[in-house]
């Protein structure tokens, strides 16, 4: 069986999307490093143009389409960041995009998707509702589905963030990334295994949306029927492709409680002076809760995004 995702795929994606993404900065936070007794390098994907790492995978998928397929447009389901990313990538190629969004998506993310020019179809807040609405639209339009994470092109694009991190910061001993659907963590794991084989790879998810943790222990995908977390970008269930990569490439998945997520998000706003969303804060929550011992280590974390509804902050 061929590999689902290879390091060569990630390198090809990096070359393909180079003109459409920002090479985001790596920042350090003195108070956090003092608290942990470790060197912590934060890959700030909140500084991407649409505010999250998702543009990497979306751009890779859209730029890989044939001319004929591109003309029919693209479609996806998303609670926000992937939808905005796909809308932006489609607009840059001059093709139509449609995003199926749960009705309870944040108002900020709904506006972002609309402002990038995508058609929005609202659905009930369940995976079944998302997928049914998406399939109905695709049947009518002939659009190509660009899945938020269960797609090798998307996974390869997301892996370019870790590629940049390792190129800029040599000698990392731990790398942490959030896990929702698993696209970012899959790409991070494959890039890390190629560039730094001895580095430990840790996925972090909310306790109220812990399908990855459950699935890796069960040996098969175990969805959470009603995920409940402030980290709205991490409510998705991992897919068959991402599950296989996580199962073989990731050292551990840990879970963080809601108060720790909110506290970590506020800590970054106050101490690092940058805006991150709850889905990005989970990795720092895991460190601050001592769910992994990193004292004396060089640690890389991917801060996945910064798209926050300022009218509904979790504190």
Give the side-chain half-sphere CA count within 13 A for 43: 29
Q: How far is CA 55 from the centre of its chain?
A: 10
Q: How big, in percent rounded to 5, are the helix, strand and coil portions of the chain?
A: 50, 15, 35
The number of beta carbons lying within 10 Å of the beta carbon of residue 200 is 18
| Domain segments of the chain as ranges | 7-52+151-303, 55-145
Report residues of the chain scoring pLDDT below 70. Answer: 1-2
Supply the DSSP symbol for 231: -
Q: What pLDDT was estimated at residue 1?
A: 42
Do strands 119-123 and 200-206 pair parallel, antiparallel, or not at all (unpaired)? unpaired
Specify the long-range contacts of residues 40-43, CB closer than 8 Å, at least 24 apart.
Answer: 40/287, 40/294, 40/299, 40/300, 40/301, 41/165, 41/169, 41/172, 41/298, 41/299, 41/300, 41/301, 42/272, 42/301, 42/303, 43/161, 43/162, 43/164, 43/165, 43/300, 43/301, 43/302, 43/303
The answer to whether 98 and 141 have CB atoms below 8 angstroms apart is: yes
In the numeric block, which tokens belong to residue 303?
């801060």
Q: Name the pTM for this structure.
A: 0.94
The answer to whether 88 and 108 have CB atoms below 8 angstroms apart is: no
Identify the architecture of domain 55-145 in CATH: 3-Layer(aba) Sandwich (3.40)
In the numeric block, which tokens belong to residue 233?
């970008």
Nearest to 255 by CA among 220, 217, 221: 217
The answer to whether 210 and 180 have CB atoms below 8 angstroms apart is: no
The answer to whether 79 and 235 have CB atoms below 8 angstroms apart is: yes
The number of beta carbons lying within 10 Å of the beta carbon of residue 28 is 12
Residue 123, classed as helix, strand or coil, is strand
Whether the domain at 7-52+151-303 and the domain at 55-145 fall into the same CATH topology: yes
Q: What pLDDT was estimated at residue 2?
A: 64
Q: What pLDDT was estimated at residue 144?
A: 98
CATH number of 7-52+151-303: 3.40.50.1100
């Amino acid at each position: 069986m061929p590999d689902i995702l290879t390091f060569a795929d990630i390198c090809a994606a990096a070359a393909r999307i180079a003109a459409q993404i920002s090479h985001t900065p790596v920042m350090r936070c003195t108070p956090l490093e003092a608290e942990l007794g470790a060197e912590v390098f934060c890959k700030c994907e909140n500084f991407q143009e649409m505010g999250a790492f998702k543009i990497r995978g979306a751009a890779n998928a859209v730029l890989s389409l044939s001319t004929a397929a591109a003309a029919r447009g693209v479609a996806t389901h998303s609670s926000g960041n992937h939808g905005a990313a796909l809308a932006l990538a489609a607009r840059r190629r001059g093709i139509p995009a449609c995003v199926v969004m749960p009705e309870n998506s944040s108002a900020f993310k709904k506006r972002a998707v609309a402002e990038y020019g995508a058609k929005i179809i609202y659905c009930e807040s369940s995976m079944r509702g998302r997928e049914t609405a998406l399939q109905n639209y695709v049947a009518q339009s002939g659009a190509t589905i660009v899945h938020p994470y269960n797609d090798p092109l998307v996974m390869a694009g997301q892996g370019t963030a870790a590629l940049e991190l390792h190129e800029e910061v040599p000698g990392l001993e731990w790398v942490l990334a959030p896990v929702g659907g698993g696209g970012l963590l899959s790409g991070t794991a494959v890039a890390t295994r190629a560039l730094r084989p001895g580095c430990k790879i840790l996925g972090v998810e909310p306790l109220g949306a812990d399908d990855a943790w459950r699935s890796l222990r069960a040996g098969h995908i175990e969805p959470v029927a009603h995920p409940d977390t402030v980290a709205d970008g991490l409510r998705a269930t991992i897919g068959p492709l991402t599950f296989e990569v996580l199962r073989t490439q990731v050292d551990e998945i840990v879970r963080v409680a809601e108060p720790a997520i909110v506290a970590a998000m506020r800590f970054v706003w106050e101490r690092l002076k940058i805006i991150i969303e709850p889905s990005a804060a989970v990795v720092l929550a895991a460190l601050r809760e001592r769910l992994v011992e990193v004292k004396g280590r060089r640690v890389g974390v991917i801060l996945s995004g910064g798209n926050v509804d300022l009218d509904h902050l979790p504190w």
